[in-house]
């Protein structure tokens, strides 16, 4: 089990009132090709910066910081409906002390850090190798694909 | 008289002799059982040897079958290849004569060594000999043009256009360009372009790209063609799914160059790493980058030796146009290519099919503009593209190539294993980088000791052995007391069987100990070899993987502008912008 760093050790789910999802009704459902095209667009510097803060440790005590990350994802992909947004983010962890990767579970609003010997949840585990590769800053995990994001914001898509 | 009973002193000599005989008998029986046991062990050993030999024989048999199949495939392919080439020659042979005459007439006319009547006669004869063939009237038009016979030229030209508008337009554009008739050449080019649908192009367009890339059409022609290519690209890219198709197309094209690992590489990992398939695929995928880098750099390395004159360049294009792109011949050409690959692969059909699969699209009669460009870049020998065209095609497709490479690289990296599970006999362990040798060796040792203890614990006497001891003892004792020889014999046999079983048990335990002793000796050696290969594999993979970034940088440095020849005119060649 990874180290849980949000809302205190006992809480695992984000309180419902903190939901920042925009109303989905005024978003048009993108076709598969359009969605892929949209997801493949280069990520902004602002978004990249927001994601690198995952490792800064400020989310340990600050649930608003996690909300800000989730808001950053929604802001980066505004046309994408909530169910098509990434399920989570997996990135290389620089905490040291045996910690290898950290994950952000969007739905649960949880940030967790994992050691070398610890397994990630099944959906996120498939992004581990990519997240560990120095060429990628982090990996966005979708239901049926992974998007590896480079430091430059360029993305590569892998269908899983 | 009272009966008098008297017990004489017992003569136990006979009993002793009999007991001694019985003892001897039991000993003989035990020896015989030992011999039987020895023989059984010998038979078991022989069965094991026979099994090994059978396995070896099966392997040799399969290897023989494989070699035999390949030899037969090779022989058959060689025979068929000759047949297909003969058929091509027989069915389309008369075209060859027409083809040879095209450049022949032009060159003869250049040096004015053949009378116009001869040219006229020859071309008219060919017209009669090659019905339905588009080039025959094209040749008549050419000879009429050279002899200034406009009505005949126009009639022949109309017939050629009727037979094959695409090829005739390109043919006349090239001939007009050779004769420095720029206006006429431009008009034919415009006509050619007006006939094209960028999603359904004939393969001969590659000749035009060749001509543009080699500077045959001059600056205006190049500008015009580049503009047209741009329009096509825009038109195609607006189609739904274009980007995905392009990426898939390039991903397949790049993957077609993936190398295989040598059969002797990583023998221990092949045998003991349970995810060898994944490791093999990852390493092959990573080695692809170097292969691709070599491929692309070899295309862009050095100067392309330009032909000395415009007429030579056009003649080469004409030769190619009239020789390589007749659709009637395409099925036979496809067969010929497959058979040639089979011969090149020494009868290995799967390998030949894999190579042919990668080239197959280059044999399609109709292709999209982007597919044509991909074929020219990756399968030039099949697509009929020159090095200049390859450079142009790669430079034009650079962004798609980089996008496809990025996806391919990410996919390969995602599939690269972080942990490597190992299985040696019944022991299983996992290593990440091969550095945990001490822990794994200790795990092997403790596993083997546990297994040995478990195995030894199963080697115990059966209840029947114990029953034989107890019953044998009781019966034997009773037999002795009652002097019942039979019971005594049975009792002793039961006790004897118990001791024999016990001695066998100790022997079995000894064998188990020996077996595990051997394993304790061999397994660590195997494990060390596996771990050494894990380290080598990871170094190998990391070094190969790092090439991806070099390749990416190299591809990004390619620009279209740098890769157009300006052979026949001075001035800077700028294609797109």
Sequential DSSP letters for A34-83: HHHHHHTSPPPHHHHHHHHGGGSSTTTT-HHHHHHHHHHHHHHSTTS-GG
Of residues B357 and B512, the one with the higher pLDDT is B512
Percent of chain B topping pLDDT 90: 22
What residues in chain A have their Cβ under 8 A from chain B's Cβ atoms?
33, 36-37, 116, 126-130, 132-133, 135-136, 146, 148, 154, 156-158, 160
Contact yes or no for B426/B447 (Cβ under 8 A): yes
A133: closest CA of chain B, how far (Å): 8
CA A61/CA B79 separation, integer angstroms:
78
User: What is the DSSP secondary-structure string of B487-511?
Assistant: HHHHHHHHHHHHHHHHHHHHHHHHH
Residue B544 CB coordination number (10 Å): 20
Which pLDDT does position B573 carry in this prediction?
A: 38
Of residues A13 and B448, the one with the higher pLDDT is B448
Tokens 């001891």 appear where?
Answer: B469
Contacts of B447 (CB under 8 A, 6+ apart): B426, B427
Contact yes or no for B498/B465 (Cβ under 8 A): yes
Tokens 């089990």 appear where?
Answer: A1
CA B250/CA B295 separation, integer angstroms:
15
- Nearest residue to B372 via CA among B203, B256, B527: B203
Which pLDDT does position B8 carry in this prediction?
A: 53
Which pLDDT does position B525 carry in this prediction?
A: 94
Which of B406, B407, B413 lies closest to A129 in CB terms?
B413
Average pLDDT over chain A, rounded to whole? 78
pLDDT of B568 strictly over 60: no
B244: closest CA of chain A, how far (Å): 8
pLDDT digits (tens, 9 = 90+) for B490-545: 889 999 989 998 888 888 889 889 989 999 999 999 999 999 999 999 999 999 99
B547: closest CA of chain A, how far (Å): 12
Average pLDDT over residues A120-146: 91
pLDDT of A7 strictly over 50: no
Contact yes or no for B101/B126 (Cβ under 8 A): yes
pLDDT of A1 strictly over 50: no
Which pLDDT does position A9 carry in this prediction?
A: 35
Tokens 């585990």 appear where?
Answer: A125
pLDDT of A2 strictly over 70: no
**Using the beta-carbon criterion (under 8 Å), do B244 and A33 form an inter-chain contact?**
yes
What is the three-state SS of B293-314? HHHHHHHHCCCCCCCCCHHHHH
Looking only at the bridges linking them, the beta strands covering A155-159 and A145-150 are antiparallel
Round to the nearest angstrom and report the end-to-end CA distance of chain B.
153
pLDDT band at B75 (very low <50, low <70, confident <90, very high): very high
Best residue of A40, A41, A133, A135 to probe chain B, by most B CBs closer than 10 Å:
A135
pLDDT band at B87 (very low <50, low <70, confident <90, very high): confident
pLDDT band at B242 (very low <50, low <70, confident <90, very high): confident
Total-model pTM: 0.70
Give CA angle at B32 (B26, B34), nearest 5°. 105
pLDDT digits (tens, 9 = 90+) for B414-448: 999 988 999 998 899 999 888 889 999 999 999 99
Average pLDDT over residues B121-147: 80
Residue B465 CB coordination number (10 Å): 19
pLDDT digits (tens, 9 = 90+) for B258-295: 888 887 899 999 999 999 999 999 999 999 999 999 99
pLDDT digits (tens, 9 = 90+) for A34-68: 888 888 889 999 999 888 877 665 555 567 777 88
Tell me whether 0.90 is exceeded by the ipTM: no
B86: closest CA of chain A, how far (Å): 48
Percent of chain B topping pLDDT 70: 88
Which pLDDT does position B523 carry in this prediction?
A: 92
Which of A36, A116, A158 lies closest to B244 in CB terms?
A36
């Amino acid at each position: 089990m990874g180290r849980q760093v949000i809302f205190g050790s006992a809480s695992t789910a984000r309180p419902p009132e903190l939901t920042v999802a925009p109303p989905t009704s005024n978003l048009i459902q993108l076709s598969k090709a359009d969605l892929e095209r949209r997801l493949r667009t280069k990520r902004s510097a602002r978004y990249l910066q927001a994601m690198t803060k995952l490792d800064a440790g400020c989310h340990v005590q600050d649930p608003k910081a996690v909300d800000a990350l989730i808001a950053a994802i929604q802001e980066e992909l505004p046309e994408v409906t909530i169910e098509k947004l990434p399920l989570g983010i997996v990135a290389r962890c620089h905490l040291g002390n045996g910690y290898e990767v950290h994950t952000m579970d969007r739905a649960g609003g949880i940030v967790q850090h994992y050691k070398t010997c610890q397994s990630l949840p099944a959906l996120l585990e498939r992004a581990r190798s990519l997240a560990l590769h120095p060429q990628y800053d982090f990996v966005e995990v979708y239901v049926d694909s992974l998007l590896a994001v480079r430091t430059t914001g360029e993305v590569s898509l892998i269908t899983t | 008289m009272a009966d008098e009973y008297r017990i004489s002193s017992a003569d136990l000599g006979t009993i002793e002799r009999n007991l001694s005989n019985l003892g001897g008998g039991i000993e003989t029986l035990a020896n015989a059982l030992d011999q039987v046991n020895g023989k059984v062990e010998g038979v078991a050993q022989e069965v094991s040897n026979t099994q090994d030999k059978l396995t070896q024989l099966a392997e040799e048999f399969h290897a023989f079958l494989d070699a035999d199949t390949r030899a037969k495939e090779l022989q058959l392919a060689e025979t068929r290849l000759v047949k297909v080439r003969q058929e091509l020659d027989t069915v389309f042979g008369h075209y060859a004569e027409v083809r040879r005459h095209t450049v022949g007439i032009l060159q003869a006319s250049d040096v004015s060594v053949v009378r116009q009547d001869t040219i006229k006669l020859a071309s008219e004869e060919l017209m009669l000999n090659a019905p339905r063939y588009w080039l025959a009237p094209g040749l008549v038009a050419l000879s009429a043009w050279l002899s200034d016979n406009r009505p005949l030229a126009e009639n022949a030209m109309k017939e050629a256009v009727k037979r094959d508008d695409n090829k005739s337009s390109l043919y006349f554009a090239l001939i007009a360009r050779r004769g420095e008739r720029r206006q006429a050449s431009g008009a034919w080019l415009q006509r050619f372009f007006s006939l094209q649908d960028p999603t359904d192009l004939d393969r001969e367009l590659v000749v035009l790209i060749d001509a543009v890339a080699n500077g045959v059409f001059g600056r205006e022609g190049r500008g015009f063609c580049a503009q047209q290519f741009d329009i096509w690209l825009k038109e195609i890219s607006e189609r739904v799914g274009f980007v995905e198709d392009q990426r898939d197309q390039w991903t397949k094209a790049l993957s077609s160059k993936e190398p295989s690992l040598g059969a002797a590489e990583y023998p221990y990992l092949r045998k003991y790493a349970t995810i060898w398939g994944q490791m093999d695929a990852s390493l092959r995928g990573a080695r692809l980058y170097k292969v691709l880098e070599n491929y692309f750099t070899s295309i862009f390395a050095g100067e392309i030796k330009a032909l000395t004159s415009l007429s030579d360049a056009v003649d080469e294009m004409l030769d190619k146009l009239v020789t390589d792109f007749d659709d009637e011949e395409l099925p036979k050409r496809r067969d010929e290519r497959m058979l040639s690959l089979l011969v090149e692969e020494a009868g290995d059909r799967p390998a030949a099919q894999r190579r042919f699969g990668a080239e197959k699209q280059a044999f399609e009669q109709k292709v999209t503009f982007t597919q044509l460009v991909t074929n020219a870049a990756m399968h030039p020998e099949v697509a009929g593209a020159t090095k200049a065209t390859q450079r142009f095609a790669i430079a034009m497709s650079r962004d798609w190539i980089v996008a496809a490479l990025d996806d391919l690289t990410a996919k390969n990296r995602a599939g690269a294993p972080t942990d490597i599970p190992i299985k040696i006999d019944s022991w299983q362990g996992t290593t990440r980088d091969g550095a945990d040798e001490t822990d794994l060796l200790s795990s092997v040792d403790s596993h083997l000791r546990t297994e040995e203890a478990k195995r030894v614990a199963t080697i115990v006497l059966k209840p029947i052995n114990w029953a034989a001891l107890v019953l044998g003892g009781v019966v034997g004792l009773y037999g002795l007391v009652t002097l019942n020889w039979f019971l005594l014999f049975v009792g002793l046999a039961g006790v004897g069987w118990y001791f024999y079983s016990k001695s066998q048990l100790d022997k079995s335990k000894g064998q188990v100990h020996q077996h595990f002793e051997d394993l304790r000796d061999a397994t660590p050696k195997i494990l060390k070899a596996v771990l050494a290969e894990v380290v080598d594999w990871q170094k190998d993979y990391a070094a190969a993987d790092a090439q991806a970034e070099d390749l990416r940088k190299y591809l990004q440095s390619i620009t279209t502008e740098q890769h157009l020849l300006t052979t026949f005119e001075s001035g800077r060649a700028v294609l797109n912008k």
